[in-house]
Amino acid sequence: MQRRTLLASLLALASLLPLTACARQATLVDVQVQNQDTGGLLPLLPHAGRDYIEGQPGHRFAVVLQNLTSERVLAVLSVDGVNAISGQTAGSQQSGYVLEPWQRIEVRGWRKSYSDIAEFYFTDLPDSYAARTGRPQNVGVIGVAAFRERRYEPMPYEPLPQIGRAESSAPAPSASAKSADSAAGASAPYGERRDRQLSAQELGTGHGERRYDPVTGTRFERESSRPNQVVALYYDSYQALVARGVIPGWRSRPGTPEPFPIGFAPDPTW
C-alpha cells in the first residue's frame, strides 16, 4: 500500500479570495476519478468550458491524485463542497493531502480517522453525505486546490563591523509589517457562486462502508495563501448529462435495446 501523509497543521493565513482569482495556474497535480468496482478511470467529457464525468449509482469511486513535480505539494480535496478530510464546508485553506515528489495516491473516501475512511460512492442526491448534513447546494462537483511548499533561503552573510567604528543597522521590521503581505487578501469579498446547472442534479456522493486506510501526520507551510492550481470535475448520471447536452443523446449504451439492429432482412432459418 502506498504511503500517504495527512496534513496535521497549516501555517499559512486563510484567504477569502475566490479560487477563480488565480490568474495564472501552475500544473502541480493531475486529478482523475477511478471506478473502484471496475478499476477503470472515468473518461473526462469536456463541455462548455467544464470537465464532466459520468457516475453510475451504487458504484464506489476514488479520486486519484498524481504529483507532477519534484517537490512536495499539498492537495486540498473537496467533494460536493465538503472537505474530504474534516467534513467541513470546503475552503481552500483547510486540511489536505501532502504528496511526495511524483507520488500517486487514491483517496477512496471521507476520512474518519488516521486509520480509516468511509467510502465514496455515487448515489441519489438526497442520500449524499452533503445533503444528509444539510448542505446540498454544491452537490455534483469534485474540487482540488493545490499548493506549493514554502522554501526558505539561507540568511545572507554579513561581515562583522570593524573595531573602533560605531555599529549601525537598520531597525528590524515590526511584526505587523511582516504579516501585512500575507493578510492583504483577508478583506477581499467572496466570489459569486457557480452558475446554476441547466437541469436538476441527480447524483451525489454517499458516506459508504468503513475501510482501513491509514495515513500519518506531517507539517506543510504553503508558499502562498492562494492556491497555485484549482481543478474542478463535475459529475452526474447519464440521463442528466444527456439532458444538459454533455453527452449526445444518440450515444448507445451496453444493454440498451435497438429498434433496428440490422439493415436488411436476413434469410429465414427454417
Within a domain: 190 = no
Within a domain: 166 = no
Residues 6 or more apart in contact with residue 70 via CB below 8 angstroms: 101, 102
The amino acid that residue 211 corresponds to is R
Give the structural domain span for 72.
5-12+24-152+201-243
Within a domain: 183 = no
Tell me which long-range contacts 37-42 makes (C-beta under 8 A, separation of at least 24). none
Tens digits of residue pLDDT in 197-217: 446 899 999 999 999 999 999
Query: If we measure between CA atoms, which residue out of 58, 60, 63 comes closest to residue 78?
Result: 63
Query: If we measure between CA atoms, which residue out of 65, 81, 77 comes closest to residue 32?
Result: 65
pLDDT of residue 180: 30
Within a domain: 161 = no
Mean pLDDT (the chain, rounded): 79
pLDDT of residue 146: 97
Within a domain: 252 = no
Q: In angstroms, rounded to a whole number, what is the distance separating the alpha carbons of residues 133 and 82?
A: 10
Residue 80 reports pLDDT greater than 90: yes
Q: In angstroms, rounded to a whole number, what is the distance separating the alpha carbons of residues 232 and 101?
A: 22
The sign one gets for the Cα dihedral 67, 88, 203, 20 is: negative
Within a domain: 267 = no
Within a domain: 33 = yes
Within a domain: 113 = yes
pTM for the full predicted model: 0.71
Tens digits of residue pLDDT in 37-54: 999 999 999 999 999 999
Which whole number is the average pLDDT over 58-70? 97
Tens digits of residue pLDDT in 5-41: 444 333 332 333 344 444 457 799 999 999 999 999 9
Residue 119 reports pLDDT greater than 90: yes
Backbone torsions φ then ψ of 72, nearest 5 degrees: -70, 145
Q: Count of domains in the chain?
A: 1
